[in-house]
Structure 1
């Protein structure tokens, strides 16, 4: 993508996926509250400020209002998802001053689905793909996450089971199997009527990295998105994933940093 297209796509991403965001599960609610758009879910769901339009005069008060909002609803922790083009320029510093802790930054990347769906990628020898459609498949994904990232992710497990049960059309997940052993996994989230499908959770256990499985799972999900007429794939890429995605044709829209805040203090 050239610079003009990237600028246009970023504006569309902000408009459709942030200001016009839809809830990521049936039990969550997205609302415009003053100068922010936020999602409020149950304590085990994703609670997050998705978008804001602040200036130097209202930012601190708005930050305090969001902390109060989630505290009043009994949410123990929530996220403020900050993008490097958000205003004011010192919003990250203001969040840290208000008790938020920054997670590692990620690169917001977008690729054309039609281009990525046409990638010719063969599975490495001994690898087969298994679609995740039930609890057993979700548990295989969670085993990969534990092996690849070194952490348990109960919130992701709960979200996956809820979506498969209540909104299966919004999720497509896959596990790469080496015989009976899960070695890589990833998912794609799709909000009906939006032009972006999000690629999430891509990870491969040590010992199977560097064999093209990550690339295989990107192409697999791109073909699903292309079949549904979704024009773009979006990724919040880690430093490890970014060079792979750039080689596949993804362009950079910016940098996003999750800021986490507990509400008990």
Structure 2
């Protein structure tokens, strides 16, 4: 029997849904290719039935596409653990891609995440992408991600993404004494019942106090106001327990295979 949540993921959150918010995108055969800042993303709904030669041809199409964009420095093929052909990861590695950390795809009802205890005293959770001083606040959110994860840090690209989204990208932060200590985005996927929780990050010294949970609940409540039913997240081992306690469920895994030229 097909997992209904996995069916939601495959039907509503792959292909075109994954290039929403890109500064540019193009479709070629089964591939959807989007540019996000200096990062190129390759996604697809299915490659089932393709052999190694066919996949190699698609890889060349994608690399040629992004080579024409001088801003793109890395290209990611987004693979999923339940996809076919099962040999795809090995084929990508043989073609020069390097596997990064496996993440878990979590999915569930937005209503399950909307209720959470208040953040600790002195911590304020708020949406910042529509405020008059949003440029500085988006810079702070991006800098936080760069400090913790070692990538990101481009507040200007985050601002451009917000502006391109026409209200579908929201940036939320948690602040203590005016300092951003946690941040994350809500990405509403037009034409679906879904939204994504992305970029969740908390300073190490502020973890374990319920701040990320409160930030998640605030985004879930906002999603419900948009008419969203399902929330999803590609999460690390650190975030997975929090999302599981909130009612999301693991439906598959995703592994980025990255090409750096």
Confirm or deny a common fold (TM above 0.5). Answer: yes
Mapping for residues 178-257 of structure 1, pairs under 5 Å: 178-257=176-255
Task: Indicate yes or no: 2:148 matched with 1:153.
Answer: no
Aligned to 1:113: 110
| 1:140 and 2:140 aligned | yes
How far did residue 45 of structure 1 move?
A: 4.9
Please state how far the C-alpha of 1:73 moved relative to its aligned partner: 4.0
Aligned CA distance change for structure 1 residues 135 and 110 (closer, same or farther; 3 Å): same
Deviation, 1:114, is 1.7
Q: 2:94 aligned with 1:97, yes or no?
A: yes
2:5 and 2:157 map into 1 onto residues whose CA distance is 28
Distance, in Å, in 2 between the alignment partners of 1:142 and 1:63 is 30
Deviation per residue, 1:81-104 (Å, 9 max, x gap): 000112110110110110001110
The reply to whether residue 53 of structure 1 matches residue 47 of structure 2 is yes
Segments of structure 2 that go 5 or more residues without pairing to the other structure are none
Aligned equivalents of 2:148, 2:22: Cα separation in 1: 29
Alpha carbons of structure 1 residues 73 and 202: separation in structure 2 relative to 1, 3 Å:
closer
| SS in structure 2 at match of 1:82 | strand
CA shift at 1:21, angstroms? 2.5
Q: Give the aligned length.
A: 253
Measured in 2, the distance between the counterparts of 1:152 and 1:40 equals: 18
User: For the Cα contact (< 8 Å) 2:141–2:180, is it kept in 1?
Assistant: yes
Q: Is the 8 A contact 2:189 2:195 kept in 1?
A: yes
- The secondary structure found in structure 1 opposite 2:104 is strand
Give TM-score scaled by structure 2 length.
Answer: 0.88
Cα distance in 1 for partners of 2:26, 2:12 equals 13
Counterpart-to-counterpart distance in 1, 2:51 and 2:137? 47
Q: For 1:139-185, what per-residue CA distance to the aligned partner results, in whole angstroms no more than 9, with x for missing partners? A: 22123223432x24145x34321133343411111111111221111
Q: For structure 1, which segment, 60-69 or 122-131, has the greater mean C-alpha deviation from structure 2 after superposition?
A: 60-69
* CA displacement, residues 231-251 of structure 1 (integer Å, 9 cap, x when unaligned): 011000101111111111111
Q: Are 2:145 and 2:153, in contact at CA under 8 Å, matched by a contact in 1?
A: no
Equivalences for residues 167-186 of structure 1 within 5 A: 167-186=165-184
CA RMSD of aligned residues (A): 2.1
Q: Kindly provide the CA deviation profile for residues 51-109 of structure 1, in whole angstroms up to 9, marking residues without a partner as x.
A: 14142352233223322332244443211000011211011011011000111010000
Unaligned runs of 5+ in 1: none
